[in-house]
Amino acid sequence: MNNYNSLQQITIDLAGDQISCHGLVQHYLLRIESSKKLNAFLEVFADEALLRAKAIDKKIKAGTAGRLAGMIIGIKDNISYHNHLTEAASNMLKGYRPLYSATAVNRLLDEDAIIIGRLNCDEFAMGGSNENSAFGPVLNPYDANRVSGGSSGGSAAAVAAGLCLAALGSDTGGSVRQPAAFCGVFGLKPTYGRVSRHGLIAFGSSFDQIGILSKSVEDGALLLEIMAGKDAHDGTASALSVPPYVEELNPKKKYRIAVIRQCKEAAGLDEEIKELLNDTIAGITADGHTVDIIEFPLLDKMVPAYYVLTTAEASSNLSRYSGLLYGHRTKTISNLDQTISLSRSEGFGKEVKRRILLGTFVLSSGYYDAYYEKAQRVRRMIAEETGKVFEKHDLILSPTTPSSAFPLGSKMDPVTMYLEDIFTVHANLAGVPAINIPAGMHSNGLPLGLQLMTKKFDEVTLLQFAKYILKLTKPITQATV
């Protein structure tokens, strides 16, 4: 069977009776079985997916199938799926089965998507390498000695390796885009509020957004179109109408693009990524678009502000996991304080505990004004300055990551790891949409990515220009599992 790169290819073969949904699921199940070493899937819903595929095949023959018939999708382990294990890759939630599905999941199922399994991730989505999972790291499908990226590393690796056609992830500071860059797939983070967060296990509530990993812009656009929109279960979900993204993928004008000098000339930026960025700028300019190199002096404030604010929100969100009402409970019980302390110490991993402690510290009396309140002011300044850029420009172009995927275990120092987010946290701090574009291959055989950002709720422009940039870049070679 073909290794499909888009739902359109699958739909054509389904219509011509060259394949069936049941056969397609069997194909992906075989690939998952042969790729276990990647550790991308925590659980595969084999029997359930096969039964659903048979039912959808009947709907296709009857002409009643939804828009996602033939879409085989995996979901990150922090996105709720009714009566299925959803553990956020943490021992704290071991055995948890939600009583409802996330709104995004329900909307995909309503259009006949087939969910084939749940995907590994950094514990509670806290990490940039997928080395913080309680179930072990996800390996990069291009090089098993490299990280897949995080926190949605399982989602990125599964799509890149052809274990599913697309996947859902979550993006708090780059957790969709960074692993997408490391694994050579598209990674779309919508505007904050564009997709309901109902059913997404919270990390940083004012930053988190469900995102999409796919092999094509068209699939990302279709999945966004179906998932987006108002939701009575989420007060932060936007009530703005959802554009027909799939119908509006062709650029209709010449664009004005901003490139932040501090990103283009960042210390530590891999020379081949810098060359890729410069070549892309030259191609864009030669094609009649305008590229302006601009100053954005707040770049060095983004990572510190992001980690102050998200750890504070994590401290608050994860306080519910006390071992009394939610989460793991210790077997060593003598008094209330010890029960809570031991339950949390045993249930949470090292990185989650680090972020909870940091967040508790910045929210504590005597430090709140110095850290949390100051970081909120910096966030507002970043959002305002970003808005000013978009008054004159349609998009911001930058690298997605400073380097290609790094070796497993090579960045054990937390600060070094946090600096990997230097280009991605901008979109989350400003609440704007962003996408990783698989834009080329490094001489070391690993994929490279470029990032685009647009103003709030302008995913149409984001998707249009992402598709256009593909014409200027070299194709990504297929991962060898």
Q: Which residues are marked as active site?
A: 76, 151, 175
- Rounded Cα distance, 251 and 466, in Å: 10
Dihedral sign for Cα atoms in the order 49, 54, 55, 60: positive
CA–CA gap between residue 385 and residue 21 (Å, rounded): 48
Phi, psi of 143 (to 5 degrees): -160, 110
Sheet holding 210-214, edge to edge: 41-44, 114-119, 72-76, 166-170, 210-214, 186-189, 434-441, 447-453, 395-399, 256-260, 290-294
Token representation of residue 288: 């009649």
DSSP state of 175: T
Tokens 């790291």 belong to: 137
d(CA 143, CA 82): 34
> In 10 A of CB 62, how many CB atoms?
8
- Residue 374 and residue 132: Cα distance in Å, rounded? 29
Dist CA 325 CA 341 (whole Å): 14
Write the CB contacts of 246 (distance below 8 Å, at least 6 apart in sequence): 218, 221, 222, 225
- Integer Cα distance of 471 and 129 in angstroms: 30
Spell out the residues 6+ positions from residue 40 whose beta carbon is closer than 8 angstroms to its own: 32, 74, 119, 120, 138, 148, 153, 154, 155, 157, 158, 161, 163
Residue among 68, 125, 79 nearest 105 (CA): 79
Using CB atoms within 10 A of its CB, is residue 234 exposed (0-12), middle (13-18) or buried (19+)? middle
* Residue 187 and residue 211 in contact, taking contact as beta carbons nearer than 8 Å: yes
> What distance in Å separates the CA atoms of residue 65 and residue 156, rounded to the nearest whole number?
27
The tokens for 351 are 């990185």
What is the Cα 82 distance to its own chain's centre?
A: 21
Give helix then strand counts, H and E, for the chain.
Answer: 16, 13
